[in-house]
Amino acid sequence: MPPQDVSIARYFAGLPDPRVDRTKKHALGDILVIALCAVLAGADSWEEVEGFGDAKHNWLKTFLALPHGIPSHDTFYRVFARLDPQRFGSCVGEWMGAACEAAGLKHIAIDGKAVRSAPGDTFSGCLHLVSAWAAENRLVLGQAAVADGSHEIAAIPELLRVLELKGALVTLDAAGCQKGIARQVRDRGGDYLLAVKGNQPTLHEAVRAVFDRACEADFAGVRHDGAESVEDGHGRHEERYVTVIYDPDGLPPEWPDVAAVVLVGREREVGGANTSTAHYYVTSLRGTAEQLGGLVRRHWAVENELHWCLDVTFREDDQKTAAGHAGANLGLVRRVAASLLKQDPGKGSIKGKRLRAAWDDEYLTRVLQGFTGNYYPELEQGDKRRMPPG
């Protein structure tokens, strides 16, 4: 059964074709759809993308024009090397964003990842991609590549510019804790939750002082909230304590619309060894301690659900494609493929689903078309915008 409504063909219809007219032997839409189908089905190189196209020519022909057959691997490479990654990312964001129109708070976790085998003149010494991950929907919303000679800090604003932030909560680790980034999120109608560490020493000391003063006063007259949880499993005992102080005094005034500061404490025992850590956050969201603690934890879905999957299943760290925009654009295709496979409700690993997509045309069609709409229950509760007590 062919896909009668391949979403990528619709959302990418306005993407500018980087080729001159005399070289447009194959339609840009056909090239994009074949590449995505191939990566879904296990292809990890341009040669494998071409091989998939040749093997699946009859199936692809049922919904693609293919006037000159399957493009060569060189054609795939040249097109992706010249394709504008910002426009490509915007199209992906529109497509994936359409699947995230659930009511309530939309959690966007932003984090960077190095592609170790792809050389690049970035701060990490290789191709470095910053992704926006819809944590409750498990979908990539966009991507920005760190420019040569640059750092993640410069790529994050470029990524934020192509995202729909109204009503969203953006979470970032300490590298993204910047005044300009916080202001950009607020100006676009979103909220932020930022990890505060030593790279912002003035803010870090001010946040810590807020909690020190509150503790000295035994929180008398301090509007606050708290939550705690205990977990045991796999030989590990962990206790988590979340404390939120609202309308904190003494923070640097240039940080926009700070509604609360957050302290997340962890005490962990593994194999008889005990460790204790404390992490600080600043946020414009007036959430409860339970909610904000959950959002802090859910931020790392971008590592656990996306980056780990890209390394283990898609072997991204082994990818050497870097010339032009080919590495960044192929990286985005991998992220779209991972997102689509995670939407499939069937059992089994992502590796197993890629194999099934290679074997079973109907299954591949379903993956291309289907968003299950399954969201994380902790973000579907009616109290997610509940005002804190006090």
pLDDT at 101: 62
pLDDT band at residue 308 using 50, 70 and 90 as cut-offs: very high
pLDDT band at residue 373 using 50, 70 and 90 as cut-offs: very low
pLDDT at 269: 84
> Does residue 46 form part of some domain?
yes
Number of Cβ within a 10 Å radius of residue 390:
8
Give me the domain span that covers residue 335. Answer: 7-88+321-377
> Does residue 328 form part of some domain?
yes
- Average confidence (pLDDT) over 340-355: 92
Please give the Cα distance from 168 to 135 (Å, whole number). Answer: 11
> Does residue 314 form part of some domain?
no
The whole-chain average pLDDT of the chain stands at 88
pLDDT at 235: 75
pLDDT band at residue 8 using 50, 70 and 90 as cut-offs: low
Q: Quick one: what percent of the chain has pLDDT higher than 90?
A: 67
pLDDT band at residue 168 using 50, 70 and 90 as cut-offs: very high
> Does residue 361 form part of some domain?
yes
pLDDT for residue 204 is more than 80: yes
Comparing 35-49, 165-179, 320-334, the range with the smallest average pLDDT is 320-334
> Does residue 267 form part of some domain?
no
pLDDT for residue 134 is more than 70: yes
Q: Cβ neighbours of residue 321 under 8 Å, at least 6 residues apart?
A: 45, 46, 77, 118, 327, 330
Please give the Cα distance from 143 to 130 (Å, whole number). Answer: 6
Q: Higher pLDDT residue, 381 or 191?
A: 191
Strand 168-172, strand 106-119: pairing = parallel
> Does residue 187 form part of some domain?
no
pLDDT band at residue 93 using 50, 70 and 90 as cut-offs: confident
Number of Cβ within a 10 Å radius of residue 97:
19
CB contact at 8 A, 286 and 313: no
pLDDT at 379: 28
> Does residue 287 form part of some domain?
no
pLDDT at 92: 87
- Average confidence (pLDDT) over 33-47: 95
pLDDT band at residue 120 using 50, 70 and 90 as cut-offs: confident
| Number of domains, the chain | 1
Q: Higher pLDDT residue, 159 or 380?
A: 159
Q: In the sheet that 236-246 helps form, which strands lie side by side, from edge to edge?
A: 139-145, 126-134, 106-119, 168-172, 191-196, 273-283, 260-270, 236-246, 224-233
Does the CA dihedral 190-195-201-203 come out positive or negative? positive
- Structure confidence by residue, pLDDT tens digits, 255-296: 999 999 999 999 988 877 888 999 999 999 999 999 999 999
> Does residue 242 form part of some domain?
no
